[in-house]
Structure 1
Amino acid sequence: MNIELFIQRAEALHRQLADLYQTASVLPWIPPDLLPQAFKELYSNSKLIQLAAEELYRQNEELLKTQNLVETERQYYYDLFEFAPDGYLVTNAEGIVQEANLTAAKLLNTQKHILIDKSIINFICLEQRESFRNEINQLSQSDKTRELVVRLQHFSGESFDAALTVVAVRNQNGKITTLRWFLRHLNQPQQEDINSDNNENFLIENRPVDIYAKGENIPLNPFTIWYVRQGLVKLSTYCETGEEVLIGLAKRHMVFGANMTSLPIYQATALSDVELAPINFTEIAVTPKLSHTLLPKMKQRLQQTESFLAIAGRRRVEDRLHHLLELLKQEIGEAVAEGIRFSVRFTHEDIASACCTTRVTITRLMGKLQQQGLISFDAKKHLIIKRLGARG
């Protein structure tokens, strides 16, 4: 029965009993002592029913509010899962896919329902599958989050470098019930915000602009984040031997700062004339719009660093150079008649530092690529990539 109809009928019954009780009490020909005790109890019980109905109605209203709140939260977290910028898979302990979001399906160039009940190993390149199985088996022995760099492949056979982060979910007995996987394309070109102009206006309004010439070192303050309005900044550190190591490039609309790294030595150098807007870290903490605008830019900066680290982890120097040139092509490349031209000049020493090798080795490999007609240089010594073959 509808709860509101039940309450209406209970109230109507109580009113009828109240009227009947009042009438019986005042009729002169009915002595008061003859009023049936049962009638009194009936009236009293009808009052209790009315109160119970009102309480039931109140509880039902609270239940509906809770249900609506739960449904809103469920939809919110479903949207976070479904439309997350990174791919997300949920598998069982053996790696069989149980859930997948749209980004994961897009990365693997397929549809969500096709991924379900497939083994995640099916998307790993053949030469890495054995080591990947070992990684899954080792999850049962550790509760630590594992981060892997692997070569994933589409159903179509095309492959790409990806960063995988996996965490195991266990039951009360310590047995793994599910594995949660985050997938990200390492060398995917970063897309500009469709509202980048509006974001830039918001970030630079009422802020001073600091200008640094090509080759200048940019001061790093732990309380300041630099926003790049124009130009390109090289971010580097130094290894134990005193050699510089390239760990990132901050281009237009990107951010960098000392508080975005835990490295004890961190250096920023202008690769071209640059315009920078300083943003105080305390301002970010108290301005939600500012933190919301900067968060994806910080993510972009950190993802780029991961890409450089993945390159440094490759065994063969030739592979490191190949993937570095591909990354630089996406980050700072511009289309010209001859191919893709780097917008700034990189020395062989710069490239060697990013590839964790010597300048002599890079000079030899670059000369080989030039002889093969894969690269060339313009009048300003800017590198032009004509064609680079695919590598695993």
Structure 2
Amino acid sequence: MTLSTTVKLNSSIANMSSPPHPDNSRPFLAWQRISDWASEHYRCRTFNKDEKIPARPGLLYLVQKGSVRLLGNAQVSATLKKNSSTTRMPLVAAEEAFLGFVGAGQPFEVVAQPPFTLQSFAHVDQTTVIWLYWNDLDTWPHFQKEVLDAFRRQHQRKLLWLSTLGQRRTIDRLLGFLTLLIDEHGEQCEQGYYLPFPLTHAQIGSAIGSTRVTVTRLMGKLRQGGMIQNYGEGLICISKETGWKQQNPG
């Protein structure tokens, strides 16, 4: 599969998802009322870059400003049988895997189901998060529907993400991953569309099941092939020359 074929493949993946951008569909007045309510009830907090957000299972979180980075890990154990003896290997904490971003105006929640854990971190400075109990949404039924619709769209995105991770070649997984991220969070520029916040090669590697060294090498190949470009200070841009267009412009 050539690089140009890879772009067409991932463009078709992006075309499968065409919901309206959440910022355009969210009623401003309802959001403003919730923001005011959260401030009055001490239900909002602002975090610095890379600061852990103390999220708990069973609560609902809304990103008011900035961006949240979700990470997951798992503690697994294996039982090995050799002849008549059985050896149980100890629990070992796996490396954290990057699971995606939650942008401004979007909800998220965390789950805790052993051996899996989910954590959230502020990805940029001045990230503000509101937290609620689910039954708090009964006060705003229209906004409750918006939240449920947002979770439905996130679920659809995860299915597309899984289809990308199912690609056999690492370079296909890499380009598909970048395509989905920029389709969801990207902003337009002269060169094409770019991801407005930085993402390290190690974080990309953890998301697509590869290593930082491999991601660095393949990113170089994509740049040489004109698939991606650098934008600003270390930001990633998908070039217009690829023929790819963002499905959900922000």
Shift, 1:345, TM fit:
0.5
2:130 to 257, 272, 277: 277
Instruction: Determine whether 1:245 maps to 2:97.
Output: yes
Shift, 1:275, TM fit:
1.0
Shift, 1:161, TM fit:
3.4
2:87 is matched with none
1:356 to 170, 189, 209: 209
Q: Distance in 1 between matches of 2:139 and 2:98?
A: 33
1:226 is matched with 61
Shift, 1:189, TM fit:
5.9
Residue 53 of structure 2: SS of its match in structure 1? coil
Shift, 1:308, TM fit:
2.1
Which amino acid is the alignment partner of residue 201 of structure 1?
Q
2:108 to 256, 260, 273: 256
Q: Distance in 2 between matches of 1:252 and 1:383?
A: 20
Superposed, which structure 2 residues align to 1:332-351 within 5 Å? 332-351=185-204
Which amino acid is the alignment partner of residue 66 of structure 2?
G
Which amino acid is the alignment partner of residue 226 of structure 1?
Y
Residue 205 of structure 1: SS of its match in structure 2? helix
Q: Distance in 2 between matches of 1:248 and 1:221?
A: 18
Shift, 1:379, TM fit:
4.1
Instruction: Give CA deviations for 1:263-322 in whole Å, capped at 9, x if unaligned.
Output: 731011111121111111232367644532321122122222222222212211111111
Whether the 8 Å contact between 2:13 and 2:160 is mirrored in structure 1 is no
1:215 to 26, 50, 58: 50
Superposed, which structure 2 residues align to 1:67-216 within 5 Å? 160-161=12-13, 186-188=16-18, 190-192=20-22, 193-208=24-39, 209-216=44-51
Whether the 8 Å contact between 1:248 and 1:308 is mirrored in structure 2 is no
Higher helix share: 1
1:297 is matched with 150
TM-score, normalised relative to structure 1: 0.49
Q: Distance in 1 between matches of 2:29 and 2:157?
A: 24
Q: Distance in 1 between matches of 2:188 and 2:157?
A: 21
Residue 343 of structure 1: SS of its match in structure 2? coil
Q: Distance in 1 between matches of 2:143 and 2:27?
A: 14
Q: Distance in 2 between matches of 1:339 and 1:233?
A: 24
Which amino acid is the alignment partner of residue 110 of structure 2?
A
Which amino acid is the alignment partner of residue 269 of structure 1?
F
Residue 132 of structure 2: SS of its match in structure 1? strand
Q: Distance in 2 between matches of 1:262 and 1:305?
A: 18
Structure index of larger Rg: 1
Structure 2 unpaired stretches of 5+: 1-10, 77-92, 245-250
* Number of aligned positions between the proteins: 211
Q: Distance in 2 between matches of 1:364 and 1:195?
A: 40
Q: Distance in 1 between matches of 2:27 and 2:143?
A: 14
Aligned sequence identity (%)? 27
2:235 is matched with 382
Shift, 1:210, TM fit:
0.8
Shift, 1:262, TM fit:
5.1
Structure 1 unpaired stretches of 5+: 1-158, 163-184
Residue 277 of structure 1: SS of its match in structure 2? strand
2:81 is matched with none
Shift, 1:195, TM fit:
4.4
Determine which structure has greater relative contact order: mean sequence separation of CA pairs < 8 Å that are 6+ residues apart, divided by chain length.
2
Q: Distance in 1 between matches of 2:180 and 2:242?
A: 12
Residue 340 of structure 1: SS of its match in structure 2? strand
